Amino acid sequence: MNSLNNCINYLLTGAQHTVFQYMKKNLAQFDITPIQYGVLGCIWEFDMHNPKDIAAHLGVENSTISGILERMENKGLIRRMIDSTDRRYIYIELTDVSRDLEIPVRTVVTEVDRKVLEIFDEEEKAALKNALRRLYMQSIEEIIQI
């Protein structure tokens, strides 16, 4: 019988909640949430501009990404543009506000990562990140097969 303290779901959920709250607190100075940072990160890092691609990369439902994008648009972080040749296609464009946030936000995220991981040595950090990536990729492959 597996005890709660050995249940991988319990351990991952608890760890994720702790990191999420710390990230949320540190991103508050920019008036963005961790999921909004995820959206911005998809655009900054991967040049993603399609809501469906962003939702898939972040592992959220298309209906969820719509609400997130609406709140971001209301804050002046993005603009949603409808393709003139295909009205079904929405293009996400950064504003000057979100472009100006890239360096300071990435700096804060780097510091949050450093602080969260400071309890581990370099080998443990690498092992943890590799294990989480493997779990994440396995999950994505299983979702794709469904």
Q: Cα separation of 19 and 26, whole Å? A: 11
DSSP secondary structure code for residue 84 in this structure: S
pLDDT, position 142: 66
Q: List the domains of the chain with CATH numbers.
A: 4-145 (1.10.10.10)
65, 54 Cβ separation under 8 angstroms = yes
Strand (E) or helix (H) holding 82? strand 78-82
pLDDT confidence of residue 25 = 98
Q: Give the pLDDT score at 144.
A: 59
- The whole-number pLDDT of residue 146 equals 52
pLDDT at position 77, please?
98
Low-confidence ranges of the chain (pLDDT < 50): none
Cβ-contact 95, 77 below 8 angstroms: yes
Residue 5 is predicted with a pLDDT of 86
Cα–Cα dist 23/123, whole Å: 23
Q: Which of 69, 79, 8, 81 is nearest to 33 (CA)?
A: 69
CA–CA separation, 19 and 104 (whole Å): 19
Using alpha carbons, select from 68, 90, 66 the residue that is nearest to residue 77.
68
pLDDT number for residue 9: 87
| pLDDT recorded at residue 135 | 87
pTM score: 0.86
